[in-house]
Amino acid sequence: MRRPEPRLTVVLLALLPLALAGCASTPAPAQASGSAVAQRSINAAQGLLDQGDAEAALAEASAAVRADPRNALAYLARSQALEALGRGEEAARDLQRAFALAPKSGPVLNAYGAWLCRNGRAEEAMQRFVEALADEAYARPAQAMANAGSCAASAGWMERAELNFRAALTLVPNDAQSLVGMAKLEHDRGDHLRARAFLQRREALAPLTAPELVLAIAIEEAAGDARAAERYRKQLSGLGGVPGAGSSTFDQGGSKR
């Protein structure tokens, strides 16, 4: 049985005008009290994570923590590197340190919300996403909205999921996570043409991941296009046919403000 949708998620939409205004302003420094050495290592760690080199990212993030042990974003970067390496317990400890140091930081709150949702604490997670949007210096509010959408969908709160995905797409029309989220929602509703349209917008950005290809196959089969389904099936086979491969449902977004 689906849990009732929490009323607080509507606050995400109420904060949308604030998020839009924040996107037009100059973000505050990532960590005003942090050392330049730590910030360089944080930036390097994020770049390495984006390239898929988690081991090197961990080394850079650890250097950032040593350089500035009070820098929440350093712990956040190290948490994400540890998570990528499958060291979940250590990653959780670093994430909690980051939250303790900067409980009002948008990137920290966003990552903490994603962690809470992955661990079955959807109500708490939605509150963290709302709080992330209240950080006017947070440079990526669409990320928190997209994560709120993914979290709501995983909890069965489909109306809230759609509201948050659409809010994210208002800010960033090519947000891949929200496009895939909307494709799944429309597919589940039986509107396979709309589902296809959202997934095609996602596909125009970059090659589909394995889980996205699985969704594409399901959409095309439901729409009755066997040729398109087979095309996606061949692409999936080229990736090794591993549905679990690809990006995480949640976008933690590194240590950017």
pLDDT of residue 13: 53
Residue 98 CB neighbour total at 10 angstroms: 26
Q: Judge whether 89 lies within some domain.
A: yes
Q: Give the pair of three-digit tokens for residue 80.
A: 């994400």
Answer yes or no: are the C-beta atoms of 167 and 15 closer than 8 Å. Answer: no
Q: Judge whether 110 lies within some domain.
A: no
Q: Give the pair of three-digit tokens for residue 78.
A: 């190290």
Q: Judge whether 118 lies within some domain.
A: no
Res 9 pLDDT > 70: no
Read off the CATH number of the domain in which 68 is found. Answer: 1.25.40.10
Span 71-119, pLDDT tens digits: 999 999 999 999 999 999 999 999 999 999 999 999 999 999 999 999 9
Q: Judge whether 246 lies within some domain.
A: no
Separation between Cα atoms, residue 191 and residue 206, nearest integer Å: 24
Span 182-204, pLDDT tens digits: 999 999 999 999 999 999 999 99
Q: Judge whether 85 lies within some domain.
A: yes
Helices (H) and strands (E) counted in the chain, each on its own, are 14, 0
* Better-scored residue on pLDDT, 4 or 219: 219
Query: Number of folded domains in the chain?
Result: 2
The band of 1, judged by pLDDT with boundaries at 50, 70 and 90, is: very low
Res 8 pLDDT > 80: no
Q: Judge whether 27 lies within some domain.
A: no
pLDDT of residue 85: 97
Name the domain boundary from 73, 101, 129. 101
Domain extent for 211: 176-238
pLDDT of residue 35: 81
Q: Judge whether 207 lies within some domain.
A: yes
Give the dihedral sign, CA 17/19/22/23. negative
Residue 115: what residue type?
W
CA-derived radius of gyration, the chain = 19
Name the domain boundary from 76, 101, 126. 101
Name the domain boundary from 45, 80, 101. 101
* Distance of alpha carbon 188 from the chain centroid: 21
Q: Judge whether 123 lies within some domain.
A: no
Read off the CATH number of the domain in which 184 is found. Answer: 1.25.40
Average pLDDT, rounded, for the chain: 87
Residue 86 CB neighbour total at 10 angstroms: 9
Phi/psi of residue 206, each to 5°? -170, 160
Span 110-155, pLDDT tens digits: 999 999 999 999 999 999 999 999 999 999 999 999 999 999 999 9
